[in-house]
Amino acid sequence: MEHNLPGAADLADYLVDLSNVVRDRSLGAPGVRSLHRFRLVVQALVRLTGDPDVPVYPVADASLLGGAREFTDPGDVATLRRWVEEGLVEEVGDADRRILELMEMTSAAHTRTVTGDLLVGHRREHPWIQGNTDRFLKPVAGPSGSVRLVPLDMGVRTQAEISRNDELAAFKKQGLLLKSSQQPISAVIKRFWRCPERRCSLYDPRSGRVLLPRMRGGVPTCEVHSLPLADAGPRPAMAQLKAMVNGGCAARYTVEEGSRTAVGRNPEGGIALYALLSPQVAARVSREHVVVSTTDGILRVRDVSTYGTRMRAADRRGRLGPWERLTRDKDRRFGPGDEVELAPGVVLTRSGRRFPAELATAWRTGPKGPSAPPEASMPTSFR
């Protein structure tokens, strides 16, 4: 099979997400990880193309060999290490990102990739993935332990689904997901942390960008100094609002736990939108149009306008429902992806990003796991 591995992406007709294939327990080999699954994929490519020398370029996450003990055959580990050393397999920190980079290179513009991953977390950076039906092949179990390759329809995911997947990836990277339920460890993410190294400001809320701790051995740990972090108190709930004008994001605002913020044309001490609007549109927005408040990690909106306000809610997959007129002076829950219309073309919306105090509830009630994923990604920091 090594004659099918040219050792260079620009010489290959197919890319293979090796980590995804090796870990796919639905393919014909027992155990958690097996290199035999990759051999079956190469055989399937030979049958598909009719070319016994079809050139294949495998890309693997570094974590694949990091889990060497999970390989059924210890010989697979030695083979894979040799392939990496000889340049037959490219080993990187993030195989998905590298594969997409290769697929966008001029020399590999028509190369197809074998993977079972729907790559939801990369669709903001690579919008061409949305709805694609011809660039990816999925390996599926065939008769008598063989593998066949079928076109993988990537489908179209909503922004809410993409954001949820981003959250999952960020928490998984930091070891902040419970293995049993794939839910965030809320007792950690709802707290601030402090590194014992006095010069370390990675976790200092005054820095404006606070990293999530990395869990090592069940202990929140400094990313740089590898020291156990000290609990520095509760992390306030925050949420992000976006002002959308004629369909484009004109400004972003952050509201904090316990706050009461007026939004309108020019409210006293609140969020003023007049600079974003034409005089004709601004005239249709009340001085104080809505009030946004946060209590117990829940964001609410109240209509206090002269002209009225409409709202439409997003479901768990981010699909928007019909417009409804808000009852004046009555609070309404304002969730991620929901939209509040102050005037035609002037909309407030919640970011799809969830902040710490919302996460436990959101993950209990929402769809679970990467197959049902989440606007700007949940990063390894909170703003």
**Do 90 and 138 belong to one domain?**
yes
**Do 225 and 364 belong to one domain?**
yes
List C-alpha distances in Å: 168 to 130, 309, 324, 371.
19, 34, 32, 11
**Do 218 and 273 belong to one domain?**
no
Answer with the one of 120, 151, 182 that is the final residue of a domain. 151
**Do 197 and 173 belong to one domain?**
yes
Rounded CA gap, 152 and 116, in Å? 8
pLDDT band at 181 (very low <50, low <70, confident <90, very high): low
> Tell me, what's the pLDDT at 352?
53
**Do 229 and 102 belong to one domain?**
no
- % of the chain with per-residue pLDDT over 70: 85
What number of other Cβ atoms are within 10 A of residue 201's Cβ? 15
Provide the domain count of the chain.
Answer: 3
> Tell me, what's the pLDDT at 280?
93
**Do 287 and 366 belong to one domain?**
no
The residue-averaged pLDDT of 110-118 equals: 91
Q: Counting Cβ atoms within 10 Å, is residue 325 exposed (0-12), middle (13-18) or buried (19+)?
A: exposed
List C-alpha distances in Å: 267 to 181, 339, 348.
44, 20, 15
- % of the chain with per-residue pLDDT over 90: 53
Flag the least confident range among 18-22, 34-38, 163-167, 244-248.
163-167
One DSSP character per residue, 207-232 reads GS-EEPPEEETTEEE-TTT--BPEEE
Looking up residue 304, the CATH number of its domain turns out to be 2.60.200.20
- Do residues 101 and 124 make contact, with C-beta atoms less than 8 angstroms apart? no
- Do residues 158 and 319 make contact, with C-beta atoms less than 8 angstroms apart? yes
Rounded CA gap, 112 and 156, in Å? 19
Q: What are phi and psi of 64, to 5 degrees?
A: -65, -50
Answer with the one of 133, 151, 169 that is the final residue of a domain. 151
> Tell me, what's the pLDDT at 237?
63
Which sign does the torsion angle of CA 189, 194, 197, 203 carry? positive
In this prediction the pTM is 0.59
pLDDT of 219 > 90? The answer is yes
Q: Over the stretch 277-323, which tens digit does the pLDDT of each residue have?
A: 999 999 999 999 999 998 877 889 999 999 999 999 988 767 789 99
**Cα torsion at 161, 165, 167, 172 (round to 10°)?**
160
Rounded CA gap, 335 and 67, in Å? 39
**Do 23 and 135 belong to one domain?**
yes
pLDDT band at 249 (very low <50, low <70, confident <90, very high): confident
Higher pLDDT, 383 or 310: 310
**Do 118 and 206 belong to one domain?**
no
> Tell me, what's the pLDDT at 350?
80
One DSSP character per residue, 261-310 reads EEEESS-TTSEE-GGGS-HHHHTTS-SS-EEEEEETTEEEEEE--SS--E
| Domain span including residue 370 | 159-236+355-382
**Do 93 and 147 belong to one domain?**
yes
> Tell me, what's the pLDDT at 180?
67
pLDDT of 211 > 50? The answer is yes
**Do 243 and 216 belong to one domain?**
no
If we measure between CA atoms, which residue out of 251, 228, 17, 285 comes closest to residue 138?
A: 17
**Do 8 and 104 belong to one domain?**
yes
pLDDT band at 55 (very low <50, low <70, confident <90, very high): very high
Q: Over the stretch 327-381, which tens digit does the pLDDT of each residue have?
A: 999 999 998 888 999 999 999 988 655 544 444 344 333 433 333 333 222 333 3
pLDDT band at 186 (very low <50, low <70, confident <90, very high): confident
pLDDT band at 21 (very low <50, low <70, confident <90, very high): very high
Q: Any idea which residue has 């005239």 for tokens?
A: 283
> Tell me, what's the pLDDT at 322?
94
Answer with the one of 126, 151, 176 that is the final residue of a domain. 151
**Do 257 and 136 belong to one domain?**
no
Rounded CA gap, 96 and 147, in Å? 22
Residue 130 CA to its chain's centroid (Å): 15
Looking up residue 37, the CATH number of its domain turns out to be 3.40.50.11980
Give Dmax (Cα) for the chain: 74
The residue-averaged pLDDT of 116-142 equals: 92
Higher pLDDT, 241 or 79: 79
Rounded CA gap, 86 and 102, in Å? 20
> Tell me, what's the pLDDT at 121?
83
- Do residues 250 and 243 make contact, with C-beta atoms less than 8 angstroms apart? yes
Runs of H (alpha helix) within 50-73: 62-66
Q: Counting Cβ atoms within 10 Å, is residue 306 exposed (0-12), middle (13-18) or buried (19+)?
A: exposed
